């Protein structure tokens, strides 16, 4: 018979891991998708999302999954990264290159600890890039945090599924550690990626209206706004305040027109 205390601990672990999603963007080699499923299953992660995979389903994916094909069967497919992460309150990008200088790049360990303190109803996505070129700057701009597995500086690019394995392991270690005491205090969900993206669009619309922003010459404003807002881990109620303020400006403009 199983010990009831063990059951509760297992349940808590699978709840903590259950809100995590691995997102693979435009994977070229189906074998990497299978190996990712295997890496996930060994660490108790279940939800895989695929953005425009080159070949899937595929025999090579199933072979490399080595028994983790249940994860492949329920993997979701998406046309864009924005769609794959729309309901997530926390989106973490990964990069092999220390190129993302304007963004504080964290270790998977620091990220995993931060993720475990999120409100339990907040979904979290970890996003992995293309084998050849990684994630684009536009895709990284959709992320609230960026992590890099610390490697030798002269040879920093891991195989995709191996990168997933290391991150999944860190998440499992963090989930196995004692539940953070502070969890009970604030359970208000973070705004989802879709809510945040809509708010940024609204902000750009109003900026255009007051002639602060010219979409014909955007420079880097949209990218920078994404970074600014995504860095703030906004809660749903905070996004509502921002949108309400923007609507008030729009209405004032209309009343004066
Ligand atoms: N030449 C590409 C390498 C992509 S490797 C580039 O320079 O970006 C494919 C994917 O594996 C990356 O997009 C990332 O998601 C993951 N990956 C590989 N090495 C990594 C590392 N050191 N840290 C974090 N993620 C890594």
pLDDT of residue 236: 92
pLDDT < 50 stretches in the chain: 181-182, 184
Asked if the peptide bond before residue 231 counts as cis, ω within 30 degrees of 0, the response is no
Q: Where are the domains of the chain?
A: 4-178, 193-256
Identify whether the C-beta of residue 19 lies closer than 8 Å to the C-beta of residue 46.
no
**What is the Å distance from ligand 1's center to 166 Cα?**
12
Query: Which homologous superfamily does the CATH classification assign to the domain defined by 4-178?
Result: SPOUT methyltransferase, trefoil knot domain (3.40.1280.10)
Give residue 64's Cα distance to chain centre.
Answer: 24
* Sign (positive or negative) of CA dihedral 195, 200, 203, 204: negative
pLDDT of residue 97: 85
pLDDT of residue 45: 97
pLDDT of residue 187: 75
User: Whose alpha carbon is nearest atom 11 of ligand 1?
Assistant: 160
Report the predicted TM-score, pTM, of the whole model to 2 decimal places: 0.87
**What is the Å distance from ligand 1's center to 149 Cα?**
9
- Tens of pLDDT along 221-255? 888 888 888 888 899 999 999 999 999 999 998 88
**What is the Å distance from ligand 1's center to 188 Cα?**
33
**What is the Å distance from ligand 1's center to 256 Cα?**
52
pLDDT of residue 150: 95
User: Whose alpha carbon is nearest atom 4 of ligand 1?
Assistant: 134
Of all atoms in ligand 1, which is nearest to the CA of residue 151? 22
CATH architecture of residue range(s) 193-256: Orthogonal Bundle (1.10)
């Amino acid at each position: 018979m199983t010990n009831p205390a063990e059951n509760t601990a297992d349940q808590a672990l699978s709840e903590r891991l259950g809100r995590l999603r691995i997102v693979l963007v435009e994977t070229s080699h189906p074998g990497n998708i299978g190996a990712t499923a295997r890496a996930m299953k060994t660490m108790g992660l279940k939800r895989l999302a695929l953005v425009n995979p080159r070949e899937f389903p595929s025999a090579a994916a199933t072979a490399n999954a080595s028994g983790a094909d249940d994860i492949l069967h329920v993997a979701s497919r998406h046309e864009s990264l924005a769609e794959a992460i729309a309901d997530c309150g926390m989106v973490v990008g990964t990069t092999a290159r220390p190129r993302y200088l304007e963004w504080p790049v964290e270790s998977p360990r620091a990220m995993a600890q931060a993720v475990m303190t999120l409100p339990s109803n907040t979904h979290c996505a970890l996003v992995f890039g293309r084998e050849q070129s990684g994630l684009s700057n536009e895709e990284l701009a959709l992320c609230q945090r960026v992590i890099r597995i610390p490697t030798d500086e002269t040879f920093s690019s891991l195989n995709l599924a191996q990168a997933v394995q290391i991150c999944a392991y860190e998440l499992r270690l963090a989930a196995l550690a004692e539940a953070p005491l502070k969890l009970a205090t604030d359970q208000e969900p973070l705004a989802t990626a879709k809510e945040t993206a809509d708010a940024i669009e609204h902000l750009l619309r109003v900026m255009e209206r007051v002639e602060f922003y010219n979409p014909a010459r955007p420079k880097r404003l949209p990218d920078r706004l994404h970074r600014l807002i995504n860095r703030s881990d906004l809660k749903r109620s905070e996004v509502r305040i921002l949108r309400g303020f923007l609507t008030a400006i729009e209405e004032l403009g209309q009343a004066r027109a």
